[in-house]
Amino acid sequence: MPLSDSILARLQYQYKTIDELISGLTEEQLKHRINPDKWNVFENIVHLAAYQPTFIKRLNSMLNENEPLFERYVAENDPVFYEYLKKSLSELLSDISTKRFAVIDLLKNLDEQQLNRNGQHPVYGLITVARWADFFLLHEAHHLWTIFQLTSMLRVKAQK
């Protein structure tokens, strides 16, 4: 069975929500830290961009190895996250789009046997490639919700 229509649609369109959420805000505004102990909007976008290469590597490991074990992803332990912090907003958005097409191309061409290969998550146990794609999208959606909240607060602040 191929990937569900839901997963395919979210892979294709969900990330585009970023553009809608940040519309009308400057990069400087997106870098403003609203909560001192939490990421700002820009850092959330950096995280989404920096995680995609990790996700692609994990998918390839799952396809080529027998139930590889992955450590919990922590952005602060990922050198790519710090490298991406130096990029401009337009570079990040372009990178997200480019790598998303790579994710889609990889996943949409997998057969049922490949989609059912497993990787081990330290908290969630064995997860199939198909479920890992869903996990990836739910994680992204969590950050989109955070970006929605933060951009809403930025807009309220700008109105005052």
Residue 130 is assigned to a structural domain of this protein: yes
Instruction: Show the domain range for 139.
Output: 5-154
Task: Compute CA 113 distance to the chain's CA centroid, rounded to the nearest angstrom.
Answer: 25
Question: What CATH code is carried by the domain that includes residue 24?
Answer: 1.20.120.450
Which residue positions in the chain have pLDDT lower than 70?
1
pLDDT at 1: 57
Residue 96 is assigned to a structural domain of this protein: yes
Residue 77 is assigned to a structural domain of this protein: yes
Give the pTM.
0.95
Residue 101 is assigned to a structural domain of this protein: yes
Residue 159 is assigned to a structural domain of this protein: no
Residue 132 is assigned to a structural domain of this protein: yes
Number of structural domains in the chain: 1
